[in-house]
Amino acid sequence: TELAKAYAAEDVDAILAGAGENMVRTIPGGFEFKNKEENRKYLEDFFKANDNIKIKLEDFVATMDKVAIRFTFESDVVAPSEYVSYDATGSKAKVNGYAIFHIEDGKLVRSWNSWDRLALAESAGYKLHKADAPEKAEAAAETEAPATTEEPAKAEDAPKSD
C-alpha cells in the first residue's frame, strides 16, 4: 500500500498528506497525538529510532468510513525513542499489530493502533520474570516498622536548641 511505502521511505509528509488537521492517533503506552503537528513529532522520533523499516500487510478490511489492518513490522532500532520506556538500540524489532482508521471526507481523522509490546521488548533482549509473591510478602513483612499506639510528638515537645 502507499502508506506502507511511505513508512519504508520514512516520508513524514506523505504519511500525513492524507490526514485531517486534527487527526488523533492513539498508540500503546497511553500516548495520544491530537493534531498533525503532534503526529509529525511522533513520526520524526519514530524514524530517528528505526531504520530499514519493513511493513507487511497481513489483513485489510474496509467499510464505509473505517479501515482495519493487521500488520507485521520489522526494523533495526538505531536510537532510543521518546515513546518507548526502554532502550532497544542495537536490536532488531519485530512485532505484530493492528490499526483501525476512521475516515471523514477522504481524510484520516482518527487512528487506534496496537502492537504486542511484550514481543517488541523481548526482540530487544528484555525478559519478563514473574515475581515470587510469597517471598516478596515475607520480605516486606520483615522490613515493616512495628505498629505503635503512641501519638506522634508535637513540635512544642521537641528539645529546644540555644
Closest CA to 98 of 17, 3, 27, 32: 27
Taking CA atoms, 47 is separated from 38, 51, 139, 152, 153, in Å, by 14, 7, 44, 56, 58
pLDDT of residue 69: 95
With cell 497511553, the residue in question is 30
CA–CA distance, 23 with 107 (Å, rounded to integer): 9
Phi, psi dihedral angles at 90 (to 5 degrees): 90, -5
Residue 83 vs residue 3, higher pLDDT: 83
Q: Whole-model pTM? A: 0.75
Percent of the chain clearing pLDDT 70 (strictly above): 80
CA–CA distance, 40 with 46 (Å, rounded to integer): 10
Q: Which parts of the chain fold into alpha helices (H)?
A: 2-8, 12-17, 36-49, 117-123, 133-143
In which band, very low, low, confident or very high, does the pLDDT at 134 lie, cut at 50, 70 and 90?
low
pLDDT of residue 113: 97
Kindly report the average pLDDT of the chain as a whole number.
84
